[in-house]
Amino acid sequence: MSALGKLGAVRVGQGWDIHRLVSGRPLRLGGIEVPNERGLLGHSDGDVVLHAVTDALLGAMADGDIGQHFPDSDERYRDIDSGELLSEARGRAARRGYRIGNVDVTILAERPKLAPHLPTMQRRVAELLGVAPAQVGIKAKTAEGIGAIGGGDAIAALAVIALTARARPTAVRTRRRQRPRARVRRA
């Protein structure tokens, strides 16, 4: 029996994304616009939070990654709202019989300060996934001035998601009355 057919089967996926900060683009994180003088460079809207969650969701299903499903060589995805990509991945999971248990996201950014925006991001990610906000954890950390993130040149996000398989109904088994076994005599 496949893992999908087992009651309570759990699949875990992880996702990661990083984009460079550039002038002339809005900063989109967790499905919302965050006030900032620079935004994330990307073929889509560059939302590293939603990209990491999408990759985690696809990974939990062993279904490739965001680049395979939504390649940057395809003009249909130029400047697309990353919420649409996550919604498509969520639909794939639902069609395969998976439910989202929870998702946990860590954003790595030196600036802007994200703490005031985290509750709104949490609600938006929950909405996109079709789950309660209590099933979505989002936190922000700095890189303590180290590397491209610490220098304020990039923002990254890490995500972990747990999926559960929907229980398939099983036939009720009735126990058949067994006949007594005949004794065999040995000579």
Angle at 108 between CA 81 and CA 77, to 5 degrees: 20
Report the percentage of the chain scoring pLDDT > 70: 84
Choose between 138 and 165: higher pLDDT.
138
Q: Given this model, what pLDDT does residue 9 score?
A: 86
Report whether pLDDT(23) > 60.
Answer: yes
Give whole-number Cα distances, 44 to 11, 26, 39, 75, 97, in Å: 28, 12, 12, 10, 28
Q: Residue 171 pLDDT more than 70?
A: no
**Per-domain residue ranges for the chain?**
10-165
pTM: 0.85
Among 3.40.50.10090, 1.20.58.340, 1.20.1050.10, 3.30.1330.50, name the CATH number for the domain at 10-165.
3.30.1330.50
Hunting for tokens 């999908």 — which residue is that? Answer: 4
Q: What is the pLDDT of residues 26-69, one digit of tens each?
A: 999 999 999 999 999 999 999 999 999 999 999 999 999 999 99
